[in-house]
Amino acid sequence: MPHHAVEVTLTRPATRGELRDARRSMLLAANADRTRLLTVHSARYPGGSLHAVRRRLDTRLPVDVLTTHYPDRCGRILLNVTLPDAADTALRQAAAALGKRPQDVLGQRVTDALARDASRRARQLQARLENVLADHTPDEVLVCVADLLHSHRHPPARTAP
């Protein structure tokens, strides 16, 4: 059976005791502030891993969102969330009215929200660049951007004192 990497996002940092208890049921790697965890779980499909991890951890940790760490065969990152009752009811009603599955409606809403955010960010960047171009030539801007991109890709090497 294949193994799938699952990322666990918590609603708050896990206490050391909670993390110790959760690690008794499965191997977990935690980030420095204990708000995100990574585990590997075997299942036939990535979604099965998400469901199994949620079942094991929900009573032990303040789990918010589970995602697959790598894209599936279609290039998607799978998401596993537990909605509050009111949101779940509203989502199911909207799905029924559209003749769709709740997960499809939620997926479309998330996709639409991400597209709106990307569009807003692009407009914001364009406005900022227009302000920069009011005071600098395009050549100056390109050289500056190239320098910044290069410095972010290759941080300066540290030397020992």
**Cα-based angle 71, 75, 79 (whole degrees, multiple of 5):** 55
pLDDT at 158 over 70: no
Q: Is the pTM of this model over 0.75?
A: no
The mean pLDDT of 69-92, rounded to a whole number, is: 89
Residue reference for tokens 């991890």: 53
What pLDDT, on the 0 to 100 scale, is given for residue 52? 95
pLDDT at 160 over 70: no
3-state SS class at 88: helix
What pLDDT, on the 0 to 100 scale, is given for residue 72? 76
Q: Rounded CA gap, 54 and 61, in Å?
A: 10
pLDDT tens digit sequence for 25-47 = 999 999 999 999 999 999 998 88
Q: Rounded CA gap, 57 and 81, in Å?
A: 13
Q: Rounded CA gap, 79 and 67, in Å?
A: 5
Q: Rounded CA gap, 64 and 58, in Å?
A: 9
